[in-house]
Each structure stands twice: as structure tokens, then as C-alpha cells.
Structure 1
Amino acid sequence: MGSTQQKVDFQALSAYAQPTNGIHSLSMGHGGIGAFNFAKVGTSDVWFGEWSQDFNGNGNDRAVYYVGNSTNTTVPVSGTASYAIKGVNKFSGSNQLTGDFTANFGTQKLTGSLANSALSVSIDADIVTSTAAFSGTALANGVVFGNSEGHFFGADAASLAGIATFANRQLDTAFGGAKK
């Protein structure tokens, strides 16, 4: 007790909601817990998602997140890899974002984009090989600047997960993907 960080077992939570397009939606209105939309990245213990007290609200009660098991994570120091990316932003069952990211481990850059019919998000991030993390900028709908951050997971950076955040929290997006 006393810690502000709590662990969530998304594998167990996923049993309570059948996925739509790979995204689990779980509403926990009892007790005011809110609603979760979350997805697993491939077969690894890596998850990304969003939470809101009320997805119909003004967005100020939204949070995007990612979490994963970083045990045995390694990141190459050269070469490139492509990742098939999925994302959530106010997920409604049919508005999953999809796209592709490319990691250039030699130049330590991660770039790419994901989109649906209402939102496009691109990222341009620096990779920190020693921590398996990335951070940089995000751009929503080609005009709104924000930040991106995340991590690689697994041997040889097999998967990644992260978030793009903006001053307008309605645009905040969580994403994840596995190597192609």
C-alpha cells in the first residue's frame, strides 16, 4: 500500500470482453470505474489502450496507455524493421486506426503513421537503444503537433507499443504493433 502505481492484468480483463477488430471494450460503470478499450500486440504480453470515465464526454477524462513485459528485450544497433500498427482513439467498434511504422536502428529513428476515416496520426521519434524506448513528435490530421513515446518489447525488438498525446486530448491515441 502507499504506492500510486497499480498493475493491471489485461490478459485477465480480456476474458470479460470479446474483441471487435482485435480491440477489447469493457465498460465498468458500476462504481464509476469507466470504460476501457485495449488490445494485445501479437502473442506477446504487450498491451495498449485508452480509458475514459465517459467516452461521450469532452475528452478531459481520457487517458491513453501502453504496458508490456520488457524481460529479454533487445534492440538491434543496425538494420531496419517494419511494424504493422493498430491504434485506438475513442474506439467505437469500427474506427480502429491502422498503419505502418519503420524503425531504422542504424539512425535510431522510428517513423510512420496510422489512420482511420476521421483521424490520422504520424510520428517521428528517436530510438534510445540502451533503454528500448522511443520519443519524439506526433502530428494529428497533418496540422496539430503533439508528442509520441513508447517502448520496444521482446528479442530483437519484436513488437512495440506507445502513445501520441496532444493539448487537445480528444486526439490522444494509443498504438501497438508487431514486426511484419
Structure 2
Amino acid sequence: MKFTHLKAVVGAMALSVAMGGAAQAQVVLADITSGTSDVDNVEIGVSNVPFGPHTSGKVGISVPALGPGTFFVDFEGLQNASAPVVITPGLPGVTTVNNPTGTITDHSQYGRFDLTRVDGQNVFYGEWNQSDDASLGDHTVYFAGTGATLAANVPTSGTATYSVQGLSDYANNSQLNGTFTANFSGSGGTLTGSIASATYALNIGTANISGNGFSGSGAVASNPSTSATLATNGNVSGNFFGSAAQALAGVATFANNQYDAAFGGSQ
């Protein structure tokens, strides 16, 4: 996505608002279920930008250069603007939109987005940072899906295995792959598993399932190539999606947000 194109989009949005708020046209969308590691950097909401590759009324994202919580661009539009790169054959590719800067001086620079979606679901997950460097303190991870895709019928017994992918400093660590296992029991149960690339691994520990959500506090990040532990005691949170919990998405966050990760997968 070119800087000039993004600047034109925002200029058009501002003109629309000045002329009566056309960019804020009412849209109808089921409640969005989402998680973000830093709401000051990334907010999730209903997209309201109908310009360029973007469409109103879809699951969207807002970052500081867009005006936090004011303008939301749809994830599908970002993918249309920058074709996904398939890392794992047969699974959705990863889209990178890279317009980084150390400071926000105008609306031509939007930071770096790396994002993808859960196979077969209207559920997205990814990471963002303003300066194209996950170590500088603003690395933010997120996931988002609509209420229409949120799992309404979570199993109350048995197990399910999910093929899971993830992103954490994608520029340096590539895409993560692995397996999660859900052990359902009544309205609860547990979720365990890990995902990894050659240089980064995330073990989510044991997350507790409650309804269509899950959470835990025992995640560990490590570097498989050196066997070094990078971070411990990470918080994990997310949701199941699909009519019967066929998919999931979530985030893992640590005291050092450089090692935060977003993930999603399906049975």
C-alpha cells in the first residue's frame, strides 16, 4: 500500500466528515468479539471507511495515525491492498502493510501491520507497531471476529485438536505453527498447546475454558534455536468461533511486549 494512497484515503475521509459525516454512515454488524494488548495503539470496531480498497460495515481496525477510535479500516480491505503471502500451504497467507515511522507527523505513515485470518472463518488476528521494530515498546497484538461467528454451542465433553498459526515479530520470526488441544468439560475445561517457528516458540500453558472464552496466566516464550527462555508468566486470552467451536483465536501477552503473540486456528 503506497503512502500517497493512504494519505488520499484519510483526506477523503476528513472531507466527508466536514460535509456531514458521510464516512460515519450507519452500518449494521453483529457485535464484535475481540482482544487487543494495548487499546491505545489498536482498537477494533466496525469499519467506516468506504474509500479505496476499503468497505464500511465490516470488522475493522484503528491505529493512532487514523485517529484512535475515529476511523476503522476493514481487515479485508487491507488484504486487498497488499496481497497475502502464503507461508503454510493450504492456509490463509499473511498480509504485511508496512508504512513505518518513529513519530506520527502526518497521515501518510501508519506503522506496520502483519495480519491474517482463521481458515474458513470471518476471524482475523495480527500485530502492529508504529516503527517497524517490535522491540521499541509499542508492539501490539490483537484478534477480532463478529458476534455472528462467535461459538454458540461449545462442546460440554470430549476433546478437540486445532491446527494453529500465530504471529509474533513476524518480520524476524516468520509464521508460527503448532497444535492446541481443548478438553471440554461441562461449561469449562482446559486448552493447552504450543506454536513455533525456527526462532520463536509460544507455549500457552494451561488456559481455562469458560463458555466460549478461555484464559490463563502460564504462557512461556522461548527461542528454539538457542533454547533460551524469552519470557514467562504470560497471560493468554481468546474465544472459540464457529457454530460448534470449530475455530479459535486469541493473544498471549508478557511483561515485555516484544514477545507478545496473536494466534488463530481451526479443527
TM-score normalised by L of structure 1:
0.89
Q: Aligned residue for 2:130?
A: 53
Q: Aligned residue for 1:119?
A: 200
Q: Percent identity?
A: 39
The answer (yes or no) to whether the contact 1:85–1:114 under 8 Å persists in 2 is yes
**Is the aligned partner of 1:27 residue 2:98?**
yes
Question: d(CA) in 1 for partners of 2:255 and 2:214?
Answer: 20
For 2:215, give the aligned amino acid.
S
Runs (4+) off by over 6 Å: none
Secondary structure class of the residue paired with 1:167: coil
Structure (1 or 2) with the larger CA radius of gyration: 2
The answer (yes or no) to whether the contact 1:70–1:154 under 8 Å persists in 2 is no
Root-mean-square deviation over aligned CA pairs: 2.0
- The structure carrying a bigger helix percent of its residues is 2
**Aligned pair partner of 2:114 in 37, 55, 62:** 37
| CA distance 1:125–1:63, change in 2 (3 Å) | same
The answer (yes or no) to whether the contact 1:25–1:36 under 8 Å persists in 2 is yes
Per-residue deviation, residues 72-100 of structure 1 (Å, max 9, x unmatched):
62211111110001001111287111000
The answer (yes or no) to whether the contact 1:55–1:90 under 8 Å persists in 2 is no
Question: d(CA) in 2 for partners of 1:17 and 1:162?
Answer: 23
**Aligned pair partner of 1:16 in 62, 68, 81:** 81
Per-residue deviation, residues 1-41 of structure 1 (Å, max 9, x unmatched):
8xx95521212221011112211111234533111000110
- The structure carrying a bigger strand percent of its residues is 1
> What's the offset of the Cα at 1:59?
3.4
TM-score normalised by L of structure 2:
0.61
Question: d(CA) in 2 for partners of 1:59 and 1:121?
Answer: 20
Question: d(CA) in 1 for partners of 2:44 and 2:249?
Answer: 19
Q: Aligned residue for 2:158?
A: 79
Per-residue deviation, residues 64-122 of structure 1 (Å, max 9, x unmatched):
00001232622111111100010011112871110000011126100000011111111
The answer (yes or no) to whether the contact 2:173–2:198 under 8 Å persists in 1 is no
More RCO (CA 8 Å, sep 6+): 1
Alignment length (residue pairs): 175
The answer (yes or no) to whether the contact 1:59–1:169 under 8 Å persists in 2 is no
Q: Which runs of 5+ in 2 are unaligned?
A: 1-23, 25-39, 46-59, 61-73, 88-92, 101-106, 223-227
For 1:122, give the aligned amino acid.
N
Secondary structure class of the residue paired with 1:92: helix
> What's the offset of the Cα at 1:135?
0.4
Question: d(CA) in 1 for partners of 2:147 and 2:246?
Answer: 11
Question: d(CA) in 1 for partners of 2:260 and 2:128?
Answer: 11
Question: d(CA) in 2 for partners of 1:57 and 1:40?
Answer: 21
For 1:88, give the aligned amino acid.
L
Question: d(CA) in 2 for partners of 1:19 and 1:59?
Answer: 26
Q: Aligned residue for 1:136?
A: 216
Per-residue deviation, residues 113-138 of structure 1 (Å, max 9, x unmatched):
00111111111200011xx1110021
Q: Which runs of 5+ in 1 are unaligned?
A: none
